[in-house]
Amino acid sequence: MALSCIVTSASRLSLHWESGLKHNFIYLAVLMDVFTRAIRGWHLSRTLDQNLTLYALNQALVQHCPTIHHSDQGIQYAFKNYVQVLHTHKVQISMASVGKPEENGYAERLMRTITEEEVELAEYKDLDDARDQIGRFLEDVYMTKRIHSALNYATPAEFEALCQESSLSTP
């Protein structure tokens, strides 16, 4: 079994609905594979609770089960149900030290990318519109169009395909 690590972050995003009059906050939970930079699961909600992160985790586990799950010290990753799902899938739990965001640097950088390349450039009509547009960014733009220097200038989708191709051709 190959070692794989998934990092996760749940962050508050500051959005302006289309009217521009009301300042809204929503929370985005994202799970990313560190090796391929692929988005494995995500969920958007008005509240930062266990359902936000549990939904994203369950979505991620549908097709991929990591060896390690790394997160910050957020309480949403210590909820009994969340930890139980990880234990059921025999995933090792790793957490950054308190006050050390650099120990979750992959997830922090991902959230910065989402903020700079989608959220700050868009206006959303409402929560559903934000979910649609952010989902399009994550699933289409980030996965299939955005290249990464760490992936030898491939997109996450291209890099995963290359890895699968190379593992199939290795005896």
Q: Which of 3-7, 15-19, 84-88, 126-130 tops mean pLDDT?
A: 84-88
- Taking the C-alpha atoms of residue 134 and residue 127, their distance in angstroms, rounded to an integer, is 10
Alpha-carbon Rg for the chain in angstroms: 16
The b/e string for 42-53 (b: 16+ C-beta within 10 A; e otherwise) is: bbbbeebebebb
> Of 3.40.190.10, 1.10.357.10, 3.30.420.10, 3.20.20.140, which CATH number belongs to 5-169?
3.30.420.10
At 73 the pLDDT is 85
Give tens-digit pLDDT for 135-158.
Answer: 999 999 999 999 999 999 999 999
* 74 φ, ψ (degrees, to nearest 5): -55, 135
The continuous run of DSSP H or E covering 105 comes out as helix 105-117
At 47 the pLDDT is 86
Q: Is residue 105 very low, low, confident or very high in pLDDT (cuts 50, 70, 90)?
A: confident
